[in-house]
Structure 1
């Protein structure tokens, strides 16, 4: 019978999460997100300006309503600015035994999933993603209906290669 041990582990000898070489999202993904978010923000500004300065008397639209509704295009513009700085922070890393994804600008979020714990992997593509050769890889772990994490903004080829590697890794281990 093997003797039970519970030795201390030197934390300085463990590999650091900061040492992971994350691969950035596809440049097409970053551009597509900026165009979509920018178009939505511009549309909301035009809609607000039409309501504020349209060809009708101002007593029909109360100024307080315009003051309140201006927050919607302002928030869309802030989201556009946030995306400009946050999208380059997104990245993924495939290592020998795990898959990692990071995102966030002010609040950094990193998820690492051991490859042996991934139950299945799927590739999702919407119409715009198909048009621009992009895909989203969703990794599902055992015990949950929702995906452990999704990696957006991959080229379709990279998503297929990642999926094939993960499936091959599962069958070999």
Structure 2
């Protein structure tokens, strides 16, 4: 019987993911975010305006509602700006890293040997700006583990090919 060895790992010798320089999302993705906000908040404002116009009992509440609505819109814009600035991604030799969040920052690292599926998506607005998103799926879930938006479409296609190549290499190495 072989001697079982279970040595402790020197944590200070491990590479630090914090030291990796992340690629930021394309600046034009911020325009996609603004367009989506304008669409949603504009629709809500129009519906509220119609409601206040046709329902006379609501007229006495329009000023507090308008102030509250403006505060919600401003807060949403500030949070989305902060979130946009915090997002970044990197593809290293053995894994993919994605950092996101506005108030709480989340860094997700997925080793390539765990990746089972990669999808490239183009929304209507994103497509107009030449952008796409990459979704990376691992085993055991019906939704993606990482979704990286705001990548130039050509770059997103290269990333998808890179990840698909990693998946194929892992499968052929196992056989």
What is the TM-score normalised by the length of structure 2?
A: 0.83
Partner of 1:94: 91
Range with greater deviation from structure 2 (41-50 or 145-154): 41-50
Contact 2:80–2:102 at 8 Å: present in 1 too?
no
Partner of 2:33: 33
Aligned counterpart for 1:146 among listed residues 143, 147, 154: 143
Gaps of 5+ in 2: 171-175
Partner of 1:22: 22
Contact 1:124–1:135 at 8 Å: present in 2 too?
yes
Tell me, in whole angstroms, the C-alpha distance in 2 between the residues paired with 1:19 and 1:143: 30
Partner of 1:63: 60
Tell me, in whole angstroms, the C-alpha distance in 1 between the residues paired with 2:48 and 2:3: 72
CA RMSD of aligned residues (A): 2.6
- Encode CA deviations 1:24-75: one digit per residue, 9 max, x unaligned: 00111123213432564466567667877x6x8x962253575357434421
Q: How does 1:1-173 map to 2 (within 5 A)?
A: 2-38=2-38, 40-41=40-41, 44=44, 60-61=57-58, 63-64=60-61, 67-68=64-65, 70-173=67-170
Q: What stretches of structure 1 move > 2 A for 4+ residues in a row?
A: 34-52, 62-74
Any idea what SS the aligned residue of 1:165 has? helix
Tell me, in whole angstroms, the C-alpha distance in 1 between the residues paired with 2:48 and 2:140: 46
Tell me, in whole angstroms, the C-alpha distance in 2 between the residues paired with 1:81 and 1:102: 18
- Give the C-alpha shift of residue 137 in structure 1: 0.5
- Give the C-alpha shift of residue 109 in structure 1: 0.7
Count of residue pairs the alignment pairs up = 170
What is the TM-score normalised by the length of structure 1?
A: 0.83
Any idea what SS the aligned residue of 2:58 has? coil
Tell me, in whole angstroms, the C-alpha distance in 1 between the residues paired with 2:136 and 2:40: 30
Gaps of 5+ in 1: none
